[in-house]
Amino acid sequence: MSTRLRDGLTHRLLIALCAAELLVVGALAHAAEPMTSEPVMPTPDMRAPLPLQEALSWPLPDHDSAKALGNVTCASSTCHGSIKPWKNSHVLQNEYVTWTHLDKHARSLEVLANERSRKIAQKLGIGDPMRAKICLDCHTDNRAEATRGPRYDPADGIGCEACHGAAENYISSHVAPGATHADNLAHGMYPVDDAAARARLCLSCHFGNRDKLVTHRIMGAGHPRISFELETYSMIEPAHFRLRSDDAQHTLLFDGARIWAVGQAIDVENRMDILLDVKRNHDGIFPELVLFDCHACHHPMSDLRWSQRTAFGPSLSPGVVRLNDSSMLMIAAFAHQLDPALGERVRNAAAALEAATAGQGDLVPAAQTMKALAMDVAQRIARTPFDRAMLYGITLTLIDEGLAGNYVDYAGAEQMTMAISSLLDFGSREGWLENGANINAQISGLDSLLANDEHYPREQFQNRLKTLRATLTRQS
């Protein structure tokens, strides 16, 4: 895990326990007094999740047909380029400053000029990475020539419109008096507030989709392994927006446990989509290797780590490559809380899929079934408020599965840590946890064992899970 990510996990519960306002604006902005002036932005309406089909078929910003106007268009001081947040405006208005100073997306193009990128490009034989479409597609807002307005600038990296959609048709309407969120969406703004739509957007770069992917070949050339979890990454991206606790009207701005859950379901849906893509599903003898557990192949032969792993029925035999199935395990856990029969269907579908990738059964129908189920689960979880019982139920199930050895490999342990952290952070905000500082320290303890993916101490990780389980059981 990157240092930034560790910092995020380490500090977030503590921050939540101290003062919610501190999280609202990046380190820069909260040092300053808010500006008091008339808001220039309209008041938001309440937001409900979009119908899932709509969220999944919304054109991603890089497929917009409208023109992108460039960051400079958003950055004036009376719009989103204020130095300090505005007190009476429902949006902070210093988003641009937070983004330029604190957000890594602002420097995503520069990365392609560094030594590591040059080496990757050289090994792949793709010439200058600053000009290679395969890299630019994720490291900038790489949209069709015809949709680049006069002030569009690739040097913006991943700017406002790479996430919020090309502004041509909403630039004037979104500041018109009385404009609602629905109006903005109708004018081409991307629904980043919707968990499923956001998951699809972030995953398009933080994993890939049918159009772009950090393939095993790109990783083999030296690209970092991608690790992503929607809620954690939404939290560690320096916030240029307000969280729910700061504004009663923004009930859906921060709904951590649900964002985590929907993110997992959309992760499964997206993986199945890639598995089913004829362009990707045969890279030599295997479907694309990034869909598998990296450490199933990448470890010394003397390290005999195979063990029974019965999460989805009878264990696969030793010597078989396993899918990276942590998101399937997670959705099985919360589907079970929603409806035990649904949980059972997810488990059976995952078992059939794992068997099929190991040569027993047909891969395509198995992946199709899993994809349909993941969408069903996403749909239901997006509409179900998490209550205390559900939060504890899911967290304890995840821990029990970890103790049963179902997240044996590093990537699973990493996902487990991010999941527990997202869930308990939410529980702490809702006031459902006692002694948050102790729990926070325990999460940091788990996280610190993940510092090196080649040598992560499995047994210690399990021991710490046991301690956390005991603490949570006392409170639940």
Q: 171 or 311: whose CB is closer to ligand HEC?
A: 171
Q: Least distance (Å) from ligand HEC to the CB of residue 47?
A: 7
Q: 233 or 306: whose CB is closer to ligand HEC?
A: 233
Asked if residue 289 binds ligand HEC (CB under 6 A), the reply is yes
Among 116, 279, 282, 466, binds ligand HEC (CB under 6 A): 116
Q: Least distance (Å) from ligand HEC to the CB of residue 111?
A: 4
Rounded-to-integer distance, Cα 87 and Cα 30, Å: 12
Among 13, 167, 236, 275, binds ligand HEC (CB under 6 A): 236
Q: Least distance (Å) from ligand HEC to the CB of residue 334?
A: 21
Asked if residue 160 binds ligand HEC (CB under 6 A), the reply is yes
Among 9, 24, 121, 450, binds ligand HEC (CB under 6 A): 121
Asked if residue 205 binds ligand HEC (CB under 6 A), the reply is yes
Asked if residue 120 lies in contact with residue 222, where contact means CB atoms within 8 angstroms, the answer is yes
Q: Least distance (Å) from ligand HEC to the CB of residue 118?
A: 8
Asked if residue 328 binds ligand HEC (CB under 6 A), the reply is no
Rounded-to-integer distance, Cα 5 and Cα 143, Å: 29
Asked if residue 212 binds ligand HEC (CB under 6 A), the reply is yes
Q: Least distance (Å) from ligand HEC to the CB of residue 80?
A: 4
Cβ neighbours of residue 178 under 8 Å, at least 6 residues apart? Answer: 42
Q: 38 or 459: whose CB is closer to ligand HEC?
A: 38
Stretch touching ligand HEC by CB under 6 A, among 10-18, 167-175, 206-214, 386-394: 206-214
Among 192, 276, 363, 404, binds ligand HEC (CB under 6 A): 192
Rounded-to-integer distance, Cα 331 and Cα 440, Å: 24
Rounded-to-integer distance, Cα 187 and Cα 138, Å: 25
Cβ neighbours of residue 141 under 8 Å, at least 6 residues apart? Answer: 61, 62, 68, 152, 154, 156, 157, 158, 159, 161, 162
Among 213, 272, 328, 420, binds ligand HEC (CB under 6 A): 213
Write down the residue that tokens 């030296």 correspond to. 222
Asked if residue 26 binds ligand HEC (CB under 6 A), the reply is no
Q: 116 or 466: whose CB is closer to ligand HEC?
A: 116
Q: Least distance (Å) from ligand HEC to the CB of residue 255?
A: 9
Asked if residue 18 binds ligand HEC (CB under 6 A), the reply is no
Q: 192 or 363: whose CB is closer to ligand HEC?
A: 192
What is the three-class DSSP state of 111?
A: helix
Residues between 55 and 114 with contacts to ligand HEC, criterion CB under 6 A: 71, 74, 80, 91, 95-96, 99, 104-105, 107-108, 111-112, 114
Rounded-to-integer distance, Cα 188 and Cα 416, Å: 36
What one-character-per-residue DSSP string does 233-284 give?
Answer: HHHHSPP-S--GGG-TT-TTT--HHHHHHHHHHHHHHHHHHHHH-TTTS-BT
Asked if residue 208 lies in contact with residue 214, where contact means CB atoms within 8 angstroms, the answer is yes
Both tokens of 404, joined, read 């049963």
One-letter identity of residue 220: G
Q: 171 or 218: whose CB is closer to ligand HEC?
A: 218
Residues between 295 and 314 with contacts to ligand HEC, criterion CB under 6 A: 296-298
Asked if residue 44 lies in contact with residue 184, where contact means CB atoms within 8 angstroms, the answer is no
Q: 215 or 406: whose CB is closer to ligand HEC?
A: 215
Stretch touching ligand HEC by CB under 6 A, among 197-205, 332-340, 371-379, 426-434: 197-205
Residues between 362 and 381 with contacts to ligand HEC, criterion CB under 6 A: none
> What letter does residue 174 receive in the DSSP assignment?
G
Stretch touching ligand HEC by CB under 6 A, among 273-281, 288-296, 325-333, 419-427: 288-296
- Tell me the number of residues near ligand HEC by CB under 6 A: 73
Among 25, 55, 167, 214, binds ligand HEC (CB under 6 A): 214
Give the Å distances, CA to CA, from 374 to 277, 323, 419.
Answer: 17, 16, 17
Among 34, 42, 44, 188, binds ligand HEC (CB under 6 A): 44
Asked if residue 223 binds ligand HEC (CB under 6 A), the reply is yes
- Please give the radius of gyration of the chain, using alpha carbons only, rounded to the nearest integer: 22
Asked if residue 378 lies in contact with residue 400, where contact means CB atoms within 8 angstroms, the answer is no
Rounded-to-integer distance, Cα 96 and Cα 77, Å: 9
Chain centre distance of CA 409: 20
Find the helix packing angle between 410-429 and 436-448, rounded to 10°. Answer: 160
Cβ neighbours of residue 42 under 8 Å, at least 6 residues apart? Answer: 90, 175, 176, 177, 178, 179, 180
HSE-CB at 154 with a 13 A cutoff on CA atoms is 17
Q: 62 or 401: whose CB is closer to ligand HEC?
A: 62
One-letter identity of residue 400: D
Asked if residue 226 binds ligand HEC (CB under 6 A), the reply is yes
- Per-position x/- string for 409-448, each x denoting binding to ligand HEC as judged by CB under 6 A, each - no binding: ----------------------------------------
Residues between 238 and 267 with contacts to ligand HEC, criterion CB under 6 A: 240-241, 253
